[in-house]
Amino acid sequence: MIRVCIEVDRGTDRSTTLFVRAESILRALEVAGEQNPGCASSVVFPLDPDTFFVRDASEGIEAEVAEVAA
* 8 Å CB contact between 22 and 53: no
Cα–Cα distance, 40 to 1 (Å, whole number) = 23
Q: What pLDDT score does 25 carry?
A: 94
What's the pLDDT tens digit per position in 5-52?
999 998 877 788 999 999 999 999 999 999 899 999 999 999 888 888
Cα–Cα distance, 36 to 7 (Å, whole number) = 11
pTM across the whole model: 0.77
Q: Name the band, by pLDDT with cuts 50, 70 and 90, for residue 66.
A: low
**Structural domain count of the chain:** 1
Check pLDDT > 60 for residue 69. no
Domain holding 62, by residue range, is 2-69
